[in-house]
Structures are given as C-alpha cells and as structure tokens.
Chain A
Amino acid sequence: KQEVTQIPAALSVPEGENLVLNCSFTDSAIYNLQWFRQDPGKGLTSLLLIQSSQREQTSGRLNASLDKSSGRSTLYIAASQPGDSATYLCAALGGGSNYKLTFGKGTLLTVNP
C-alpha cells in the first residue's frame, strides 16, 4: 500500500526567501508525481506533474524534482511571496492497473511580508 509523507508539516518564511518542500513515497512503482496547492476553503489546483520517466518540471518560480528510485520529490519555490501562502500537497499515481492517486497530508506554508 502506497504511503506518502510530507515534511515539514508547516513552514513559515519571510518574503523573498527560497524554500524547499519535501515529499517521500514508499512504493516507487508510480506513473507520476503531482504537486497541488490548496487555499483555505478551496479545492486543489494542480501545479506540476512529473512523469515517472522525467527528473523535473518547472513552471515560473516553481521547480519540482523526482527521484523515483529513492522515493522522493521536492518542490522548490524561488523568491517566495505572501501570495504563495497555502497548503501544498504531493500525490503519487500508483502503477500497474491501479491508477490510484495517493496524497500526503500537505505542508502549510506561510510567507510573511
């Protein structure tokens, strides 16, 4: 059974700082790894999706990397802004015939002005 863990559970940084969010998964047989953002009272917004054959994906100030063999992914946010404050969740899409997306509990990020 796939288990996804995110560290830290919460992070508070001053505006302008670069930061890294960590995600680990126990079963390396995945199709892809996705990072989502969730604002309070809202649904999830897909940020980046890394296929199992890829090493990283970039979108603006966001960069996500994937090391499938070690079961790890990181989300790097450059030059953080108060508007980046949200909960960030990673999710692993299971391999084989089980296309089940397993989520971590998320990291609550607060960027202070």
Chain B
Amino acid sequence: QKEVEQNSGPLSVPEGAIASLNCTYSDRGSQSFFWYRQYSGKSPELIMFIYSNGDKEDGRFTAQLNKASQYVSLLIRDSQPSDSATYLCAVTGYKLSFGAGTTVTVRA
C-alpha cells in the first residue's frame, strides 16, 4: 500500500465549476497535510496546509481533513483555466510523503 494515494485523474472540469481532489494516507500518526500545485515543466509550489480536522479556506481553495478516515481533500471553487495543473497531496510523518498527483484541466 502506498503511503499517500490520490485519485488518478485526469480531471476535466468546465470553467466556473468546482474541482474536487481526494487523497488518502496510510500512516495514522501523520500530523500535517499539504497541497502543492505543479504547472507543466515547473516545480511544485505550496497552495495550503491543514493539520486540524475540518475545513480550511483560502480564497477559492478549501482543504478538508478527516483524520479518522485518513482522508484529505482539496476543493477548487470557480475553477479558472489558470488552475490547470497537477495537484500533489503531501503528508508529514517522519518525513513528507507525496502522492502521485492528480492532473486537472479547466475547460474554457
């Protein structure tokens, strides 16, 4: 079992819609959870982190964490073509472990 698993995608959504990205992790002791965005040919950049159960909102992005279910998600509201990228879920245990990423395409 991989430490961090993401829905494989690719995910295609129309402009203005909500994109929903899911991530599950195996280490129940994981403390912190990060979402990174990676544009094609670029390095990953941090979108947001979450470490408490519940929702955390930052602009059009909302991260949701459920430690009992070992599940973290990212919602992108009012999706824009500029949101087209690969989104990486990362989980901290001893070290940061990354999922394989979900590629999102926002159709204009």
Q: Do A and B come from one complex?
A: no
